[in-house]
Chains A and B, each alone.
Chain A
Amino acid sequence: MKYLENRKYVIQGIFLMVGIVFAIRLFYIQVVDSSYKQAAETNAIKPIIQYPFRGLIYDRNGKLLVQNTPVYDLMVVPKDVKNLDTLRLAELVKLPLEDVRERLKKARSFSYVQPSPFYQKLSTQEFAYIQNNLIDFPGFYINARTARGYPHQSLGHALGYIAEISPRQLEDSTYNGYRPGDYIGKAGIELEYEKYLMGQRGVKYKMVNVRGVEKGSFREGAFDTLAVAGENLVSTIDLDLQAYGEYLMNGAKGSIVAIEPATGEVLAYVSAPFYDPNLFTGKDYGKNYMELLQDSNKTMFNRPIMADQNPPGSIFKLTQALIALEEGAINPNTTYACNKSLVNCHDHPSPLNLYGAVQHSCNPYFYQAYKALINQGKSPNTFTDTAIGLKEWREKVLSFGFGQQLGIDIPGEKKGIVASTDLYDRVYGKNRWKYSTIYSLSIGQGELGVTPLQMANFMAIIANRGHYFTPHIIRSVGEDGKPLKEYQEKHYAAVSPQHFEPIIAGMSEVVRAGTGRRANLDKVGIEVCGKTGTAQNPQGPDHAVFVAFAPRDNPKIAIAVYVEHGKWGGQSAAPIAGLMIEQYLTDTVTIKQQEKWVLSREYLNIKSK
Chain B
Amino acid sequence: MEKVLGQTLSSTTRSRRSSGFLAPHLDWVTVLLYFLLVALGWMNIYAAVYSPDNVINIFSMDINSGKQLAWIGASLLLIIVLMVVDYKVYEHLAYPIYGFIILLLLVTLVVAKPIAGSRSWLDLGGGIRLQPAELAKFATALAASKFLGSINLRQQNFKDQMILAAITFVPPVIIILQNETGSALVFAAFILAYFREGMSPLILIIGGSAAAIFILTLLVPKLYLIAGITILMALATWMDYRLLRRFKVMIALWGVVVAMIFSVDFFVNDVLQPHQQNRIKALINPEADPLGYGWNVTQSKIAIGSGGFWGKGFLEGTQTKFDFVPEQSTDFIFCTIGEEHGWIGSTVLIALFMVLLVRIVSIAERQKSVFARTYGYCVASIIFFHFLVNVGMTIGLAPVVGIPLPFFSYGGSSLWSFTILLFILLAIDANRAKDLAR
Check B64 for interface membership: any CB of A closer than 8 A.
Answer: no
Nearest A-chain residue to B354, judged by Cβ: A19
Query: Complex formed: what's the CA distance from A29 to B302 in Å?
Result: 9
Q: From DSSP, what is the main secondary structure of chain A's interface residues?
A: helix
Query: Complex formed: what's the CA distance from A229 to B412 in Å?
Result: 57
The smallest C-beta distance from B370 to any residue of chain A, in angstroms, reads 11
Of the listed stretches B127-135, B252-260, B274-282, B305-313, name the one at the interface; the rest are far from the partner chain. B305-313
A15 contacts B358, C-beta separation under 8 Å: yes
B302 contacts A39, C-beta separation under 8 Å: yes
> Could you say which of A12, A19, A21, A36 contacts B353, with CB atoms under 8 Å apart?
A19
Check A14 for interface membership: any CB of B closer than 8 A.
Answer: yes
Write out the residue numbers on chain A whose beta carbons fall within 8 Å of the beta carbon of B195. 7, 10-11
Write out the residue numbers on chain A whose beta carbons fall within 8 Å of the beta carbon of B302. 36, 39-40, 43
Nearest A-chain residue to B322, judged by Cβ: A209
B319, B321, B365 — most chain A CB neighbours (10 Å): B319
Of the listed stretches A92-100, A186-194, A210-218, A575-583, name the one at the interface; the rest are far from the partner chain. A210-218
B198 contacts A30, C-beta separation under 8 Å: no
Check A23 for interface membership: any CB of B closer than 8 A.
Answer: yes
In B346-380, the 8 Å CB interface with A consists of 346-347, 350-351, 353-354, 357-358, 361-362, 364-365, 377, 380
A29, A30, A33, A39 — most chain B CB neighbours (10 Å): A30
A39 contacts B305, C-beta separation under 8 Å: yes
In A1-41, the 8 Å CB interface with B consists of 4-5, 7-8, 10-12, 14-16, 18-19, 21-23, 25-27, 29-31, 33, 35-37, 39-41
The smallest C-beta distance from B405 to any residue of chain A, in angstroms, reads 12
Check A203 for interface membership: any CB of B closer than 8 A.
Answer: no
A31 contacts B324, C-beta separation under 8 Å: no
Query: Complex formed: what's the CA distance from A37 to B306 in Å?
Result: 4
> Could you say which of A19, A39, A215 contacts B351, with CB atoms under 8 Å apart?
A19
Check A45 for interface membership: any CB of B closer than 8 A.
Answer: yes
Nearest B-chain residue to A6, judged by Cβ: B196
B305 contacts A216, C-beta separation under 8 Å: no
Write out the residue numbers on chain B whose beta carbons fall within 8 Å of the beta carbon of A31. 308-309, 343
Check A207 for interface membership: any CB of B closer than 8 A.
Answer: yes
> Could you say which of A8, A14, A29, A35 contacts B304, with CB atoms under 8 Å apart?
A29
Check B391 for interface membership: any CB of A closer than 8 A.
Answer: yes
Q: Known: A5-B365, A15-B357. Is A25-B319 also a contact (CB below 8 A)?
A: no
Q: Known: A22-B395, A216-B52. Is A11-B303 also a contact (CB below 8 A)?
A: no
Q: Known: A8-B361, A15-B354. Is A36-B301 also a contact (CB below 8 A)?
A: yes
Nearest A-chain residue to B309, judged by Cβ: A31
Write out the residue numbers on chain A whose beta carbons fall within 8 Å of the beta carbon of B435. none
> Could you say which of B52, B350, B396 contacts A215, with CB atoms under 8 Å apart?
B52
Question: Contact flags (1/0) for A92-132 with B, using CB distance below 8 Å?
Answer: 00000000000000000000000000000000000000000
Nearest B-chain residue to A26, judged by Cβ: B346
In A176-211, the 8 Å CB interface with B consists of 207-211
A33 contacts B377, C-beta separation under 8 Å: no
> Could you say which of A16, A22, A40, A41 contacts B303, with CB atoms under 8 Å apart?
A40
> Could you say which of A12, A18, A22, A44 contacts B361, with CB atoms under 8 Å apart?
A12
> Could you say which of A18, A36, A44 contacts B305, with CB atoms under 8 Å apart?
A36
> Could you say which of A15, A29, A39, A215 contacts B384, with CB atoms under 8 Å apart?
A15
Query: Complex formed: what's the CA distance from A16 to B343 in Å?
Result: 17
Check B240 for interface membership: any CB of A closer than 8 A.
Answer: no
Query: Complex formed: what's the CA distance from A43 to B308 in Å?
Result: 16
The smallest C-beta distance from B204 to any residue of chain A, in angstroms, reads 9
Q: Known: A22-B392, A26-B395, A35-B305. Is A207-B350 also a contact (CB below 8 A)?
A: no
Write out the residue numbers on chain B whose beta carbons fall within 8 Å of the beta carbon of A43. 299, 302, 318-319, 324
In B385-427, the 8 Å CB interface with A consists of 387-388, 391-392, 395-397
Check B192 for interface membership: any CB of A closer than 8 A.
Answer: yes
B304 contacts A208, C-beta separation under 8 Å: no
A26 contacts B338, C-beta separation under 8 Å: yes
Check B51 for interface membership: any CB of A closer than 8 A.
Answer: yes
Nearest A-chain residue to B319, judged by Cβ: A40
Q: Known: A19-B354, A39-B305. Is A11-B380 also a contact (CB below 8 A)?
A: yes
Q: Known: A210-B322, A211-B323. Is A30-B304 also a contact (CB below 8 A)?
A: yes
B197 contacts A45, C-beta separation under 8 Å: no
Query: Complex formed: what's the CA distance from A514 to B437 in Å?
Result: 140
Write out the residue numbers on chain B whose beta carbons fall within 8 Å of the beta carbon of A37. 305-306, 308
Write out the residue numbers on chain A whose beta carbons fall within 8 Å of the beta carbon of B303. 40
Nearest B-chain residue to A27, judged by Cβ: B343
B305 contacts A215, C-beta separation under 8 Å: no
Q: What are the 5 A-B residue pairs with the smallest beta carbon separation, nearest first?
A: A36-B305, A40-B306, A209-B322, A44-B318, A29-B305
Can you spell out 6 A-B residue pairs with CB atoms less than 8 angstroms apart? A11-B196, A15-B380, A22-B395, A25-B397, A36-B304, A43-B324
Q: Interface residues, chain A, CB within 8 Å of chain B? A: 4-5, 7-8, 10-12, 14-16, 18-19, 21-23, 25-27, 29-31, 33, 35-37, 39-41, 43-45, 207-211, 215-216, 218
Q: A30-B346, A37-B308, A43-B318 are in contact. List 10 more A-B contacts (CB 8 A).
A: A4-B197, A8-B196, A8-B361, A15-B358, A26-B338, A26-B343, A27-B343, A29-B395, A44-B324, A216-B53
